[in-house]
Amino acid sequence: MQKVNVFIISLLILILPASSIAAQKAQKTISAYTYDKNLGVKQMVISGSSGLQIVSNDPANISTDPSSGTITLINNNGETSGSVWYSGTGPSGLCNACTDGVCPFGLGLRAYFEYQTNPDNSTRSDGGADGFTFAVLNASNNTTSDRGGIPSNSSISMGSLLAYAGPGNTSDRLGLQPPKLAVEFDLFPNNTDDGSCNSGRNDTPKSSYWSPENTSNHIAVMYWGRNSSEMCDRGTTMGTSYPQAPMDDNYHGAGDGTTSNPYNSSLSGDGANLGGYYERSRNANGGWNWTEDGRWHRVRIEIIRSPSDRTYQVKAWVDCESSASSACSAVENVYFQDIYAPYTNAAYPPKVDRTVTLSSTYNTMLNNILFGFTEGSGAVTQNIKIANFAVYFPTIAINPSSASYSSDLTASSIAVTAAASSCAWKAHSNAAWIIVADDNVQKTGNGTVNYIVSRNTMPFERTGNILIGSEIFKVTQAAGPPVCILTAGQNVVPYNGTNTLTWTVDGFATSASWNPSPGGNCGNPSVSGGTCTTSAQTNDGARTYTLTVSNAVGSNSCAVTFKVLRNRYDVRNSRNSSFYVRGGSYSSCTRIRNNNEFYLYYNTSAVNIYTDNDCDTSAPLSSVSYMEAGNTDVDDDGNVQINNSWSLVER
């Protein structure tokens, strides 16, 4: 999928070098997506020393391998608590680049990575360690040197904190402080609800801990619980008491549902039915604990932030699936992995999709963020590898993101919100029938894209796109009937004369018909357009013929009207003196007295007018034709007159 004119970003990638792509494909049995082809954007390869900050209670728990683009979490160790934060600086010249790991959150982010765990098909999913999170923290009261989880001097086994919750290594014992959010990947479900100060995480409330179907691996959108000012009395195990505030940050259902403490997502109870929780049982996953099958799995995360509305929508996909087991095609995977555009294929919905509104204070604190991974393990070990990791910060957002129209011509607009006033963008249509004002003209900051959708005259629906920066606005237009245009060769036709009719058809017509029939050789009109000659016109006055063209969708009509002259016009002498005529029906010189008339017929020649009674043929004063009389007779009463200026006028 080609991308052009992307003007952003703090783009952060763990990417395989070209020489190892083939090996990676073979190892993962999935298609590697490389972000350096046909994208027209600057990028940064993250290395362990310059792009990532590792914070762990044991350096052996987390490692990076820049040569293969892989992060290893837990590393088959127990009692681990660690984090990996992006700490680099984005490419220069971008409108919202990161600096030393602090990134403008702007309009949100899109992330993609692949992960692999040790295989585990144990009944309670206890063959592997607790799991990990993809976390986003406010940069106001967190640093890339912070982590959650168990304290450094404690022997307590609380890998269930995943280093996202818990006091961690911070001097204030508050760990990773709110506002923050994470997509939790829980590989060791813990259904106990023994309180947030203990190891229970309330993963599946009020169900049997030993029931295989109730200990399903899950993902969930988590925030920061109640943020309580109370203390947890863990003196004998942790060595001292700890604030309760960080201990329930990944406790399901914790929080109070307000903009200051939104509920952590849950299967049931508080935080349930909000779109933030997804689990899959062993039975539904072919006897393996979900994603703990030793295979590489794709993850896509989109966080859509609206700073003005203070809303945060978190969407996460694990593998490109339409259901629990129906994977998408290899072609679809290209779009699924492309974080330069939002993923909008409704056939492959996200596993979680939840929106919260935060308080003004917390919303402001999230203007700048840190992001990365956290992990935790207790007595049980695991090995989690993460590869092909990329994060993209959109420079603009569009509203709406798509539109559907009838077949009629329509004008509309799209609102463009920029992450910063310096973010530049262009709008360009990929379809000739979508006409964009200021097409391909560079603009900066917030703006509007005005466009016109042309009439659809084809019997099938059509779609097109407007590329606005890196965002794609999809236009869908309904099928429509064909449209015709009908013209006449002459606006005025003499009595008993014929006319030429010409018609064009825009679109695809399956039938065409006249009302009434023009006669002549018009016959059955061509559905693609044509020309014909009418029969002789003997009905004087206005004459109208209508052509109707149709297809399976509907029909449209076009009409033409022309004037048919009378067979005779009476011309009165209104000069207050006599004159003489010859020609037409007057073979000899004939006197026309004042207020008397002479006649013009459709099938005769013009009549010449003289002042003497010998009708000198070499010098008539004027000449009057049948067509001239017909064109002068605008009221169609058949009467015209010669005035003192020897002019033919209406009578």
pLDDT tens digits, one per residue of 592-623: 999 999 999 999 999 999 998 999 867 898 99
What's the average model confidence in pLDDT over 211-222? 77
The pLDDT tens digits of the residues spanning 271-297 come to 999 999 999 888 788 888 888 888 999
Instruction: Judge contact between 133 and 182, C-beta under 8 A.
Output: yes
pLDDT value, residue 125 = 60
Total H helices, total E strands in the chain? 5, 43
Mean pLDDT of the residues in the chain: 86
Measure the CA–CA gap between 383 and 381, rounded to whole angstroms.
7
pLDDT reading at 473 higher than 80: yes
Measure the CA–CA gap between 518 and 487, rounded to whole angstroms.
13
Q: In the chain, what are the helix, strand and coil shares in percent, each to the nearest 5?
A: 10, 35, 55
Measure the CA–CA gap between 565 and 560, rounded to whole angstroms.
16
pLDDT reading at 65 higher than 90: no
- Lowest mean per-residue pLDDT among 94-98, 402-406, 468-472, 605-609: 94-98
Residues 6+ apart with CB under 8 A from 347: 322, 328
What's the average model confidence in pLDDT over 472-493? 96
pLDDT value, residue 175 = 95
Q: Same domain, yes or no, for 418 and 371? A: no
What's the average model confidence in pLDDT over 441-460? 96
Q: Same domain, yes or no, for 387 and 529? A: no
Instruction: Judge contact between 371 and 391, C-beta under 8 A.
Output: yes
Q: Same domain, yes or no, for 455 and 487? A: no
pLDDT tier, 155 (very low <50, low <70, confident <90, very high otherwise): low
pLDDT tier, 240 (very low <50, low <70, confident <90, very high otherwise): low
More confident residue, 347 or 69: 347
pLDDT reading at 454 higher than 90: yes
The pLDDT tens digits of the residues spanning 223-232 come to 999 998 888 8
Measure the CA–CA gap between 136 and 144, rounded to whole angstroms.
11
Q: Same domain, yes or no, for 339 and 449? A: no
CATH number at residue 462: 2.60.40.10
pLDDT tier, 2 (very low <50, low <70, confident <90, very high otherwise): very low
pLDDT value, residue 92 = 73
Judged on CB neighbours under 10 Å (0-12, 13-18, 19+), 195 is middle
Other residues' Cβ atoms within 10 Å of the Cβ of residue 26: 8
Measure the CA–CA gap between 120 and 186, rounded to whole angstroms.
13
pLDDT tier, 50 (very low <50, low <70, confident <90, very high otherwise): low
Amino acid letter, residue 197: C
pLDDT value, residue 535 = 98
Mark 154-190 as b/e (b = at least 16 C-beta within 10 Å): bebebbbbbbbbbbbbbeebbbbbbbbbbbbbbbbbb
Locus of tokens 């919905």: 349
The pLDDT tens digits of the residues spanning 339-378 come to 888 898 999 999 999 999 999 999 999 999 999 999 998 8
pLDDT value, residue 232 = 81
Residue 487 lies in a domain: yes
More confident residue, 43 or 555: 555
pLDDT reading at 541 higher than 80: yes
- Lowest mean per-residue pLDDT among 56-60, 197-201, 317-321: 197-201
pLDDT value, residue 44 = 34
pLDDT reading at 208 higher than 90: no
CATH number at residue 260: 2.60.120.200
Instruction: Judge contact between 374 and 163, C-beta under 8 A.
Output: yes
Instruction: Judge contact between 277 and 265, C-beta under 8 A.
Output: yes
Q: Same domain, yes or no, for 372 and 279? A: yes
Residue 7 lies in a domain: no
Residue 450 lies in a domain: yes
Residue 6 lies in a domain: no
The pLDDT tens digits of the residues spanning 494-534 come to 999 999 999 999 999 999 999 999 999 999 999 999 999 99
Other residues' Cβ atoms within 10 Å of the Cβ of residue 490: 12
56 to each of 51, 80, 113, 170, how far by Cα in Å?
16, 7, 21, 12
Q: Same domain, yes or no, for 542 and 591? A: no
Instruction: Judge contact between 631 and 492, C-beta under 8 A.
Output: yes
Residue 100 lies in a domain: yes
pLDDT value, residue 12 = 38
pLDDT value, residue 102 = 94
pLDDT tier, 14 (very low <50, low <70, confident <90, very high otherwise): very low
Q: Same domain, yes or no, for 462 and 492? A: no
Residue 440 lies in a domain: yes
- Cα-Cα-Cα-Cα dihedral of 12, 14, 18, 22, to 10°? -140
Measure the CA–CA gap between 609 and 574, rounded to whole angstroms.
13
Residue 576 lies in a domain: yes
pLDDT value, residue 9 = 31
- Lowest mean per-residue pLDDT among 190-194, 556-560, 597-601, 630-634: 190-194
Q: Same domain, yes or no, for 322 and 446? A: no
Q: Which two tokens stand for residue 187?
A: 């590989």
Mark 33-61 as b/e (b = at least 16 C-beta within 10 Å): bbbeeebebeebbbeeeebbbbbbbeeeb
Percent of the chain with pLDDT over 70: 87
Residue 4 lies in a domain: no
What's the average model confidence in pLDDT over 244-272? 94
Q: Same domain, yes or no, for 111 and 196? A: yes
Q: Same domain, yes or no, for 129 and 240? A: yes
pLDDT reading at 567 higher than 90: yes
pLDDT value, residue 28 = 28
Residue 184: domain span: 12-394
Q: Which of 394, 418, 433 is the last residue before a domain boundary?
A: 394
Q: Same domain, yes or no, for 318 and 464? A: no
pLDDT tier, 25 (very low <50, low <70, confident <90, very high otherwise): very low
pLDDT tier, 194 (very low <50, low <70, confident <90, very high otherwise): low
Number of structural domains in the chain: 4
pLDDT value, residue 323 = 81
Q: Which of 474, 507, 524 is the last residue before a domain boundary?
A: 474
Q: Which of 522, 548, 564 is the last residue before a domain boundary?
A: 564
Q: Same domain, yes or no, for 102 and 16? A: yes
- Lowest mean per-residue pLDDT among 84-98, 376-390, 557-571: 84-98
The pLDDT tens digits of the residues spanning 99-144 come to 999 999 999 999 999 999 998 877 666 666 789 999 999 999 999 9
